[in-house]
A = this chain, B = another copy of it.
Amino acid sequence: MVSQLVLQELAMNGSGKILVAQGGGPTAVINQSLVGVVLEARRHLGIQRVYGARHGVRGIVNEEFVDLTQETSHNLELVANTPAAALGSTRDKPDLAYCQEMFKVLRAHRIEHFFNIGGNDSSDTVRIVAEEARRAAYPMRCIHIPKTIDNDLVLNDHTPGFPSAARFVAQAFAGANLDNAALPGVYVGVVMGRHAGFLTAAAALGKKFPDDGPHLIYVPERIFDLERFLLDVKATMDRFGRCVVAVSEGIHDAAGTPILARLAQDLSKDLERDAHGNVQLSGSGALADLLCEEIKAKLKIKRVRGDTFGYLQRSFVGCVSDVDQREAREVGEKAVQYAMWGDRGELRDGSVAIKRTGFYSADYELLPLEAVAGKTRTMEDEFLSPSGTDVTDAFRLYLRPLLGSGMPDAFRLRPNAVEKILKPA
């Protein structure tokens, strides 16, 4: 039983308010992290109110908060199992002035802990806001909670959201391979990933029998050469009579120009660009279509089909890794624990990271924001085969446990050929 005195002291010392926000692209499990924060926070005496910002950092500058303390724990559990971002997200990338606006609002609401769930940009936002708070001598702890299907946060074994998206990609290629075996030809599947090829490489986990596709995998970590690509496709067709290809949307030439931009230029096609002048890679089927046209034109292959996995790979309801769910929940819980119990000295703020401890087991740690913020991880060399068009067993060993339980498996009929009567061999 807590005495009235203690409660009064708590109330005098702080507001007991924390704020949580979600940023960047939605994932299958980002709501697990949100609910991890909310439910863990409710257990702490020092936390009286859990606010959520609507549509990420934009909701902070616009002062649009919802009181998650008034949500039932039952509904929170249901929301945790729903993909996308229940609070809403944003593509805003705050600069210093934006972060100063955010800080103004956080201080006005007497927020004591700020939790931001997101990728590179979100961690950098947390870093700047934390600096503002320190400069103003305002006692707020800022914690970044990892999330990105790109798996491109440094110092993390992997990031929540990636395993479920990887599972979608692996299942999609397992099916595309079967479809392609039934109706042979060339199949090109384009997967998300501007700089990091982890998600595209996950296609390899859809492979089972030795002649299964994907037969070729192209990631942004390697230079893409169109002539070499066409030779690879031809060699695979010659060998297997069919060819399944996994391609990252971010593949680029030696000069760093996206292949999409190069192929589109040849056809004088206009492409959408973002505020930084980067070509919009997702949300269009152009790269798959352009690669298929090249294959048809240059290799004279009739049946060439392309799919762009698009938003399905991050938003499809009903394809999720249970390992990913569990870890996404835990990084949210750990964030609150680090905030409430952590060392209040050096590591006042930080970024929660997943580290691998066994086969398979994981644990969490709090890293300095500076170590993670704004940095991009790409696929390690040991994960890519020397050919540049396949992954290594090291990658299979790395990814397989993350995909979780209940992965569907593919089976085939054994060959028991019947002797020919009319046209004997």
Residues of A within 8 A of B (CB): 22, 25-26, 51-52, 55, 62-68, 70-71, 75, 78-79, 81-91, 104-105, 108-109, 171-172, 174-176, 178-179, 181-183, 187, 206, 272, 282-286, 288-289, 292, 296, 304-312, 314-319, 407-418, 420-423
What CA separation (Å) do A415 and B179 show in the bound complex? Answer: 45
Give chain B residues whose Cβ lies under 8 Å from the Cβ of A172: 312, 315-317
What CA separation (Å) do A418 and B88 show in the bound complex? Answer: 16
Smallest CB gap from A168: residue in B: B316
Which of B25, B67, B411, B415 is close to A79, meaning CB atoms less than 8 Å apart?
B411
A150, chain B: closest CB distance, angstroms: 16
Known: A307-B311, A316-B172. A66 touches B182 (CB 8 A): no
Give chain B residues whose Cβ lies under 8 Å from the Cβ of A176: 311-312, 315
Given contacts A26-B182, A64-B417, A172-B317, 6 further A-B contacts (CB under 8 A): A84-B178, A84-B182, A86-B412, A176-B315, A284-B292, A289-B289
What CA separation (Å) do A309 and B316 show in the bound complex? Answer: 11
What CA separation (Å) do A178 and B90 show in the bound complex? Answer: 14
Give chain B residues whose Cβ lies under 8 Å from the Cβ of A296: 272
A272, chain B: closest CB distance, angstroms: 8
Whether B285 pairs with A318 at a CB distance below 8 angstroms is no
What CA separation (Å) do A304 and B280 show in the bound complex? Answer: 11
Give chain B residues whose Cβ lies under 8 Å from the Cβ of A108: 421-422
Whether A175 pairs with B308 at a CB distance below 8 angstroms is no
Give chain B residues whose Cβ lies under 8 Å from the Cβ of A418: 51, 65-67, 109
Smallest CB gap from A80: residue in B: B411
Give chain B residues whose Cβ lies under 8 Å from the Cβ of A417: 64-67
Give chain B residues whose Cβ lies under 8 Å from the Cβ of A75: 411, 413-414
Give chain B residues whose Cβ lies under 8 Å from the Cβ of A181: 84, 88
A90, chain B: closest CB distance, angstroms: 7
What CA separation (Å) do A15 and B292 show in the bound complex? Answer: 47
Whether A66 pairs with B416 at a CB distance below 8 angstroms is yes
Give chain B residues whose Cβ lies under 8 Å from the Cβ of A285: 284-286, 288-289, 306-308
A120, chain B: closest CB distance, angstroms: 17
Smallest CB gap from A183: residue in B: B89
A419, chain B: closest CB distance, angstroms: 9
What CA separation (Å) do A308 and B108 show in the bound complex? Answer: 46
Give chain B residues whose Cβ lies under 8 Å from the Cβ of A174: 317
Whether B282 pairs with A413 at a CB distance below 8 angstroms is no
7 closest A-B pairs by beta carbon, nearest first, are A285-B285, A84-B178, A283-B305, A307-B310, A175-B315, A65-B418, A78-B411
